[in-house]
Chains A and B, each alone.
Chain A
Amino acid sequence: MSILTFVSNVLSIGIPFSVALLLAALGEMFNQRAGIFNLGCEGIMAMGAFLGFIPAYFLQNSPLAGYANLLGVLAAGGAGILLGLLFALATVTFKAPQGIAGIGLQMLGWGTAGTLFRHFVGGVTGIPGLPSLPIPGLSKIPVLGPMLFSMNAMAYLAFLFVPVSYYLLFKTPWGLKIRAVGTYPRAADTMGINVTKTRYQALAMGGLLAGLAGAYLSLGQAKMFADDIVAGRGFIAVALVYFGRWHPAWILGGSLLFSIAQSFQLAIQVMGIKFPYEFAVMLPYVLVIVVLALTRSSAVRGPAELGKAYDREKRI
């Protein structure tokens, strides 16, 4: 196998791998920009994956089969929003410690999805999943075509959402409010911004994206559902937000880096190169830790009030 085919194999598997991470991390970016740290991302993804899978599973042989994927995506996004709002209720309204509430949400999502799956489905079953949509013309470009322009609709939309979320965050009044309540909620409050409402909105957005990320896993990537389908990607997404300094472009970079590293690891295993399997699996995670340790923390750019509840009548 030539180097070129090896690289193109690694990339054409790695790039689609990054979609779920990218969506979840962009969602977490909105949460954190508003000052809320949502460790429950993993749980929302599990629910999203399950709800994305269910219509496709039940409607497989019915006349409605054509709508199953759309239905699954909508259900996953809707459930994501609801879980995001539930998290907002706990952390913004009731001011529960965000780390603990996040672990709770992770358990809730993961447990519910697994239980429902065992009750209604039982064993691992494949579904047709999202068809790939080669872009006419572009997908015929040698090497690059199959790598970049033969993915499914959700993947294209996810990459498109990178500039969109940049625009939302930096060029719209909504984004301005999100950044303000995450950096200096008291100042935002004195300027008439509703801190609570803005944080609810950010968490709804974060939930939506995490739900969609889950749906991508079951519908677009694995084309099935299993209990452990999310496999820690929700936590990696949280790490990627720090890695990406709360900026969509860097988060895209981080998601790509991580998933390409993972695909590289798979590729060398397939090639049978003698390398302990466990180390190969660890590799991408080690990469994120190393990069996180090396990037300097920047107080100027990040949300300074991350993780803290806001209380108007409290001084500290």
Chain B
Amino acid sequence: MAGKLQKIRSLEVDGITKRFPGVLACDSISLKVGENEVLALVGENGAGKTTLMNILMGLYQPDEGSIRINGQEVRFKTPNDAYAAGIGMVHQHFMLVPNMTVAENVALGAPDFHRFMRLDLAGARKRIQEISEKFSLPVQPDAYIWQLSVGEQQRVELVKTLCFGARFLILDEPTSALTPQETDELIVLLKRMSAEMSIVFISHKLAEVTAVSNKVAILRHGRVVFSGSTSEQTPASLAALMTGHEVNLPVNNCCEECGEEFFSVRNVRAKSDRGFYALDGIDFSIHKGEILGLAGVSGNGQRELAEVIAGLRSVESGSIGMPGFELTNKSPREIINSGLGYIPEDRNTEGIVPSFSIKENLVLKDFASDEFSAGPFLNLKKQEANAEKLKESFDIRCPSVATAAGSLSGGNIQKVILARELARNPKVLVAVYPTRGLDMGAEEFIHKSLLEMRARGTAILLISEELDEIMNLADRVAVIYKGKILKILPSHQATRRSLGLLMAGITENAPGAER
């Protein structure tokens, strides 16, 4: 019990090395976090941030190196050891059991609620209440996880970790799925919490890094390439340090020169998984060579819209079409063949087959075409050549194109999907949160690719929560709220404020939103 009360004044990792088959994920990393410090850990996708943190949590065993708390060496064989030492982590992918309630999830990981033949759920509820009041993190203890929005789940994760008694908090990309408002709230909260504990904060959004941290470390290819105090850095200087060159996110500045109307969605209604109308009369069209940005808080029908367009969800009424081709309720195969490209929201389950190799994933939509097969046989040579070419041009970081796609880092999985979709030269492209969780370099690359597609005449629907992304890239911005398009306006008329209000469902007197 003495360990429980002891404060963590310093935590050091020293020479941590971790290898996976064909990958050196951490290459002799040494870092130190002091009392009440907020260390931001940044670096491109696949740099080894998550791996290092998993080692700190006892989830992975390092091949070399040591961890010291308050100067004393510790060894974490399981996450239990890390909890006992007071370390807690909010993982990049939520670690909540979906068919259990919030209280059950907390009770699961806290042995003090495990009585003989009885689960002390009342105790768990009480602990949740205490923590959520103390840190003003409202959660409902009896809600099932699957009923909660992503933002709420994020809050539950945080409460859960604090309920386990964490005095050293690791947050692995906690903001990548939050709305701008939720992110701001989290940053305020973290600042307040840092008075009581040390925090490691991982993010790709450098503005957050400079807002919340007092120290920053940059990883590249598993090595620490920079570490210092945050106050001397700006988001731009961090981006330059991270990628090795100055990052300029490209901007779409050739408005209103689009071609003819090419893709239209007319009065579409469709039901969500839970049975209500997630799309309630959606109506818009996109021109050739135009990017239509769809802004909105996630959960307002974006996922369902993308799915009806891709043929993965049935349309109850209304129509979707291109000139000479009706897409409404056609099979995904027909829709793909008609020239629609699709970058789905959930890259692991919809974008790739995780256990297939990279080269197989790259031809997933075309393996049966003459290009990649001969009669009933696959042409493996062409498959390989295609993969090597795309790996080169899209800068996919992988040991080889025969590696299973599921073992790549998030950013590289996204590049595989993007490479496959763009190489098919679609006439219409639907991109759902295409840069979620991606590093600055990848984001820049994807933005450039989208603008290139636009220049080649593709009609693009860009669904995103990042207002900057939408305002930089889109020709027109549509705002979706509760399954309806509230307004469509040219992007030069859109401001962060006017879009923010529309996203919250406020249409009247929105300054800057008048025609």
Chain A residues near B (Cβ < 8 Å): 171-173, 175-177, 179-180, 183-184, 186-194, 300-301, 304, 312-313, 315-316
The answer to whether B89 and A190 have CB atoms under 8 Å apart is: yes
Chain B 391-423 per-residue mask, 1 if CB under 8 angstroms from chain A, else 0: 000000000000010110000000000000000
Question: Which of B108-116, B234-242, B332-340 forms contacts with chain A?
Answer: B108-116
Least CB distance, B116 to chain A, in whole angstroms: 9
Nearest chain-B residue to A316 (Cβ)?
B406
Chain B 105-147 per-residue mask, 1 if CB under 8 angstroms from chain A, else 0: 1011101011101110000000000000000000000000010
Least CB distance, B150 to chain A, in whole angstroms: 16
Nearest chain-A residue to B110 (Cβ)?
A191
The answer to whether B97 and A180 have CB atoms under 8 Å apart is: yes
Question: Which of B78-86, B424-432, B470-478, B492-500 forms contacts with chain A?
Answer: B78-86
Interchain CA distance A313-B20 in the complex, whole Å: 9
Interface residue from B109, B115, B119, B354 paired with A316 (Cβ < 8 Å): B354
Residues of A within 8 A of B369 (CB): none
Residues of A within 8 A of B265 (CB): none
Max chain B Cβ within 10 angstroms of own Cβ: one of A177, A189, A194: A189
**Given A171-B118, A187-B96, do A193 and B59 touch, yes or no (CB 8 Å)?**
no
Interchain CA distance A40-B78 in the complex, whole Å: 32
The 8 A-B residue pairs whose C-beta atoms are closest, nearest first, are A191-B109, A316-B406, A173-B114, A192-B80, A187-B95, A316-B354, A190-B95, A315-B407
Interchain CA distance A170-B173 in the complex, whole Å: 33
Interchain CA distance A193-B159 in the complex, whole Å: 19
Residues of B within 8 A of A177 (CB): 108
Residues of A within 8 A of B164 (CB): 191
Max chain A Cβ within 10 angstroms of own Cβ: one of B91, B97, B109: B97
Residues of A within 8 A of B105 (CB): 191
The answer to whether B98 and A300 have CB atoms under 8 Å apart is: yes
Interface residue from B60, B83, B115, B407 paired with A173 (Cβ < 8 Å): B115
The answer to whether B407 and A179 have CB atoms under 8 Å apart is: no
B38 interface contact, C-beta 8 A: no
B344-371 interface (Cβ within 8 A of A): 354-355
Nearest chain-A residue to B60 (Cβ)?
A313
Least CB distance, A103 to chain B, in whole angstroms: 23
Interchain CA distance A173-B111 in the complex, whole Å: 9
Nearest chain-B residue to A302 (Cβ)?
B99
The answer to whether A176 and B104 have CB atoms under 8 Å apart is: yes
Q: Is the interface of B mostly helix, strand, loop or mixed?
A: mixed
Interchain CA distance A192-B113 in the complex, whole Å: 14
Least CB distance, A186 to chain B, in whole angstroms: 7
Residues of A within 8 A of B96 (CB): 184, 187
The answer to whether B107 and A192 have CB atoms under 8 Å apart is: no
Chain B 63-103 per-residue mask, 1 if CB under 8 angstroms from chain A, else 0: 00000000000000011100100000101001111111000
Nearest chain-B residue to A313 (Cβ)?
B60
Interchain CA distance A135-B78 in the complex, whole Å: 52
Interchain CA distance A48-B125 in the complex, whole Å: 43
The answer to whether A192 and B79 have CB atoms under 8 Å apart is: yes
User: Count the B residues whose beta carbon is within 8 Å of the partner chain — how many?
Assistant: 36
The answer to whether B97 and A184 have CB atoms under 8 Å apart is: yes
Interchain CA distance A179-B101 in the complex, whole Å: 12
Nearest chain-B residue to A301 (Cβ)?
B99
The answer to whether A173 and B107 have CB atoms under 8 Å apart is: yes
B57 interface contact, C-beta 8 A: yes
Interchain CA distance A180-B332 in the complex, whole Å: 34
Least CB distance, A171 to chain B, in whole angstroms: 6
Interchain CA distance A312-B51 in the complex, whole Å: 12
The answer to whether B97 and A171 have CB atoms under 8 Å apart is: no
Interchain CA distance A179-B100 in the complex, whole Å: 9
**Given A180-B100, A316-B404, A316-B406, do A188 and B119 touch, yes or no (CB 8 Å)?**
no
The answer to whether A315 and B80 have CB atoms under 8 Å apart is: no
The answer to whether B113 and A190 have CB atoms under 8 Å apart is: no
Residues of B within 8 A of A301 (CB): 99
The answer to whether B97 and A179 have CB atoms under 8 Å apart is: yes
Residues of A within 8 A of B113 (CB): 173
The answer to whether A193 and B109 have CB atoms under 8 Å apart is: yes
Least CB distance, B110 to chain A, in whole angstroms: 8
Residues of A within 8 A of B95 (CB): 184, 186-187, 190-191
The answer to whether B57 and A179 have CB atoms under 8 Å apart is: no
**Known pairs A173-B107, A176-B108, A304-B98 / 12 extra A-B pairs, C-beta < 8 Å:** A171-B119, A172-B117, A179-B99, A183-B98, A183-B100, A188-B97, A191-B79, A191-B105, A191-B109, A300-B98, A316-B354, A316-B407
**Given A172-B119, A316-B406, do A189 and B355 touch, yes or no (CB 8 Å)?**
no
The answer to whether B97 and A187 have CB atoms under 8 Å apart is: yes
Least CB distance, B81 to chain A, in whole angstroms: 9
Interface residue from B57, B108, B354, B407 paired with A193 (Cβ < 8 Å): B108
Least CB distance, A35 to chain B, in whole angstroms: 12
The answer to whether B119 and A192 have CB atoms under 8 Å apart is: no
The answer to whether A315 and B406 have CB atoms under 8 Å apart is: yes
The answer to whether A188 and B99 have CB atoms under 8 Å apart is: no
Interchain CA distance A226-B80 in the complex, whole Å: 50
Least CB distance, B275 to chain A, in whole angstroms: 13
Interchain CA distance A313-B18 in the complex, whole Å: 11
Residues of A within 8 A of B109 (CB): 191-193
Residues of B within 8 A of A188 (CB): 97, 108
**Given A189-B59, A189-B79, A191-B79, do A176 and B91 touch, yes or no (CB 8 Å)?**
no
Nearest chain-A residue to B164 (Cβ)?
A191
Max chain B Cβ within 10 angstroms of own Cβ: one of A179, A184, A300, A304: A184
Interchain CA distance A194-B79 in the complex, whole Å: 10
Max chain B Cβ within 10 angstroms of own Cβ: one of A175, A183, A186, A192: A192
**Given A176-B107, A176-B108, do A190 and B354 touch, yes or no (CB 8 Å)?**
no
Interchain CA distance A192-B105 in the complex, whole Å: 12
Least CB distance, A168 to chain B, in whole angstroms: 8
Least CB distance, B6 to chain A, in whole angstroms: 19
Interchain CA distance A313-B63 in the complex, whole Å: 13
Max chain B Cβ within 10 angstroms of own Cβ: one of A175, A176, A189, A312: A176
The answer to whether A184 and B108 have CB atoms under 8 Å apart is: no
Least CB distance, B158 to chain A, in whole angstroms: 14
Residues of B within 8 A of A183 (CB): 97-100
Residues of B within 8 A of A315 (CB): 354, 406-407
Residues of B within 8 A of A176 (CB): 100, 104, 107-108, 119
Residues of B within 8 A of A316 (CB): 354-355, 404, 406-407
Residues of A within 8 A of B355 (CB): 316
Interchain CA distance A176-B107 in the complex, whole Å: 9
Interface residue from A171, A180, A186, A313 paired with B108 (Cβ < 8 Å): A180
The answer to whether A190 and B79 have CB atoms under 8 Å apart is: yes
Interchain CA distance A303-B146 in the complex, whole Å: 14
Least CB distance, A120 to chain B, in whole angstroms: 40
Q: List 11 A-B contacts (CB under 8 A).
A: A172-B119, A173-B107, A173-B115, A176-B100, A180-B108, A187-B94, A187-B96, A192-B79, A192-B83, A300-B98, A316-B355
Interchain CA distance A315-B412 in the complex, whole Å: 14
Least CB distance, A191 to chain B, in whole angstroms: 3
Nearest chain-B residue to A184 (Cβ)?
B97
The answer to whether B118 and A172 have CB atoms under 8 Å apart is: yes
**Given A173-B114, A300-B98, A315-B406, do A190 and B108 touch, yes or no (CB 8 Å)?**
no
